[in-house]
Structure 1
Amino acid sequence: MIRILPVVIFFMSIGASAQVFKWVDADGRTHFSDRREPDAQAIGLKLPKPVAGDPTVSPTAAAPKPGPYSAFEILSPETNKTLRQPEDTVAVSLLLDPPLMDGHKIELVLDDVAIPVEKSAGTQLNLQGISFGSHRAYAQIRDPQGAVIAGTPIVIFHLRKPIPPGVLP
């Protein structure tokens, strides 16, 4: 049964429109495939719904909005960019036009944790203590009452240690 589990997990990752077939061979082993075999039966798989921590789910992912600003986005790091560096610091560069209006505050959301940005930092930030691995980030602007009035699209980036010379990635 344990040998079958990876096969089942593999087929669970296939799109909802895919058909999966199950059959038992002459030796009593159960098989799964996307091709119909003799005596195979079609099985239905229920795919899990996305969860809140899923990088594809976010309040700003579906509808990024610049709000009262003509432009608001994360310029750096670029989406799907792999940063190979020895330190755990990531430089974040925002595009904001016009400049931040009075009473408005920027916050950067990194892996679902909001990080307030000091007005003196402007649109160039250095985040320290970022773990190596994949991260998702977006920025938002809050009005004086704390309501989100602008948001950027999500940027997913990967922070990795440098590859030593002579080693293939």
Structure 2
Amino acid sequence: MGRGFLLMLLLIALPAAAQIYKYTDANGNTAYSNQPPDGVVAQPVELPPLNSVESQAPAAPPVDAVTDEQPSSEYEVLELTNLPTSEALRANNGTFTVNVLIKPRLRGPHLFRLLLDEQPYGQPGNVPALQLVNIDRGTHSLAVQVISGENVVQQSPTVTFTVQRVHKP
């Protein structure tokens, strides 16, 4: 092993305030120690300042350029269920219920709010079964948001579906 490696090993192993001494051992080798051996002439080694790294505060999450809000993922799962995506939803009067799958369960002051065609629909609530009434036939988009007051905490993926209903003449 080289002398530089031994010196580095000592520097790592010793506390920052320790003094290092350099001396010649009985075999004529240069040695380093944190205590000079008895009866041996040892010279203190001037050490350069140790490198240190300042701890950095965690970076703020990115801000969504569209909503000017920070995206959140408080809930592992947030999605709408009970909506057919490959066939039309048959609702003779345009009324049907969708369910919200959320994990973990809805917390504290959080509420569910539906977005029908990207617009808030109905009153926010805390029940994971939401009813839509008198929805026109045709293709629509639906998502659910978890809100706290007026702030959006998290939004589900948007689901596109088609309502098929009977119109009376």
TM-score by length of 1: 0.51
Deviations 1:122-160 (A, max 9, x none): 11122111111111011111124x221211111001011
CA distance in 1, matches of 2:113, 2:91: 25
Residues 1:118 and 2:122 are matched in the alignment:
no
CA distance in 2, matches of 1:88, 1:123: 20
Runs (5+) with no aligned partner, structure 1: 1-58, 163-169
Q: Secondary structure at the match of 1:68?
A: coil
Q: Is the 8 A contact 1:88 1:132 kept in 2?
A: yes
Report the count of equivalent residues. Answer: 97
Structure 1 counterpart of 2:138: 133
CA distance in 1, matches of 2:118, 2:100: 18
Q: Secondary structure at the match of 2:88?
A: strand
| Percent identity over paired residues | 26
CA distance in 2, matches of 1:156, 1:141: 19
Give the residue type in structure 2 aligned to 1:134.
T
What's the RMSD between the two structures over aligned residues?
2.2
Which has the higher mean CA deviation after the structures are superposed, 150-159 or 97-106?
97-106
CA distance in 2, matches of 1:66, 1:82: 32
Structure 1 counterpart of 2:21: none
Cα 1:136/1:80, change in 2 over 3 Å: farther
Structure 1 counterpart of 2:46: none
Structure 1 counterpart of 2:59: none
Give the residue type in structure 2 aligned to 1:72.
L
Equivalent runs, 1:23-38 vs 2, <5 Å: none
Structure 2 counterpart of 1:96: 102
| 1:66 Cα deviation from its structure 2 partner | 6.9
Give the residue type in structure 2 aligned to 1:82.
A
Equivalent runs, 1:1-169 vs 2, <5 Å: 67-115=73-121, 116-119=123-126, 122-144=127-149, 146-161=150-165
Q: Is the 8 A contact 1:80 1:156 kept in 2?
A: no
Runs (5+) with no aligned partner, structure 2: 1-65
Higher RCO, Cα 8 Å, sep 6+: 1
Q: Is the 8 A contact 1:66 1:72 kept in 2?
A: no
